[in-house]
Amino acid sequence: MNMPKDAHNAVEAPTKTREAVGVESELAEEADAVQEKPQPVEAPKSRAFDVVVIGGGPGGYAAAVRVAELGGRVLLVEKDDLGGAHVNRGGVSSKALLDSVNLLRWLENAEDFGVEVRHIRPLFDRMMRRQARLVRQWRAAWELFAGDHHVQVARGRARLVEPHVVEVELRDGKVERFKALSVIVATGSSPAPPPVPGGDGAGVLTSDNVWEMEELPSSLVVLGGGYVGVEFAYLFAQLGAQVALVEVLPRILATEDKDISKEMTRLLEESGVRLCLNAKVVGIADYEKQKVVFFEGLNGPGEVVAAKVLAVAGRKPNIAHLGLEAVGVRIEAGRIMADDHLRTSVKGIYAVGDVLRGDGWAHLAAAEGIVAGENAMGGDRRIEREGVPRCLYTSPEIASVGLTELQAQEQGRAIRTGLARFRFNERALIAGEREGFVKVIVSEPTEQVIGVHIIGARAVDLVAAGVLTLKAGLTVNELLATIHAHPSFVETFFEAVKATRHAHGL
């Protein structure tokens, strides 16, 4: 079961059983025509595997595929549908709706491009049907690719009865046990209701069930000013709802660079979102068929009334009833403890994704899954979290990687910053996307880039330049020696790099 030394570089993806071309349209037709085909509940014929993965979200799925690529016998146990919360209850759905409202924004400005469009109006019910169809389509893709990679799937609830024995209660009620040399726990997280009176009452939505709405609420209170809260506040404000956002901290997007937070605050307020900052929610109650959110602010108590409340301020790992503590896995504050190799306190048991932190990024969970899968097959890799991009799909988008200015200062680093605005970018001017900027942070005296922060069109794609820059440890000199396409949005990144010198007379 030893992995070749260069396996993670040399292993080729297995040949697909279907051509990549045409798969998307095929899956769309299947999703529309069949809704959901019932998944098999019979247990896999084998009872012994190299690796059993518990949880079929981004982390678990990536782990199972990687084990299969390395020639391992792998069983993936999932109690619901493959894809986890990202595919089935949030990630795909939110991006689908955000793309709908961004298209609406484009159409409203079509005349600026010499195009006349009449009768523009959002149709919320059709947007919701589209996101549901995309969820079915992408879920079908996961099912297809699991089969292509020879990943066996068991549908049911799993628990560890011994460190290397997993018991699965299948959907048909049968109980089966499987032996494994290694086990990877990747069961994700669930929304945590606000710990206040009325926090779990009817009419308080979460990122799991907000997709069940059939009508656009006239007004909405969003609890939480992090990435998810800001996305939802932007989304519903663009659709015409009266939106208030309540955040206990002094600013939204508190983990982002202060300049990014300041810019998004301005844009949200311009779109009509009421921001209640430094506001601690103390209760939620019903009032004349509406909801009232009570909070304590710097200037005393306050309240916000709306048709619906959306609570997105926290999540909790899904680790109850897995039998982890009984087999010796160390758990603190409701989270699994693991090292940078994703190893838990029990040899042969690994953990990835939200079970380690309560929430996180799908791409980070997938990266951890790959590392855990390789290590379960005899590898010795560690996860590198320093260069994980953070993304927000509003308009303009936000994306960043590395240290913020405040984090660098708190570490006692001598730094310089450079900022370049998209309004001075030729491609952005042509595209009508002049909002936002790129901010770059470099360390002195090496001039190595340690942080990249972007708010603007295509930021989520542009941040790849920052990710590669940090990964390679590139300096200002090395970046300025490159040639890039003109006109292009990425030129603003290089202008920000250049500004780290010009702003200081270098």
Residues with active-site annotation: 486
Q: Which long-range contacts (CB under 8 A, 24 or more apart) does 138-144 make?
A: 138/27, 138/83, 138/87, 138/92, 139/81, 139/82, 139/83, 139/87, 139/88, 140/27, 140/30, 140/31, 141/23, 141/27, 142/56, 142/61, 142/82, 142/83, 142/87, 143/39, 143/82, 144/18, 144/23, 144/27
Q: What is the DSSP letter of 216?
A: -
CA distance 154 to 169: 9
- CA-based nearest residue to 57, from 385, 364, 401, 357: 364
Residues 345-360 as b/e (b if ≥16 CB within 10 A, e otherwise) read ebeebbbbbbbbebbb
The helix-helix angle for 91-108 and 227-238 (nearest 10°) equals: 40
* Helix/strand/coil for 423: helix
Degrees to nearest 5, angle at CA 288 with 285 and 289: 80
Spell out the residues 6+ positions from residue 121 whose beta carbon is closer than 8 angstroms to its own.
none
Residue 479, CB-side half-sphere exposure with 13 Å CA sphere: 27
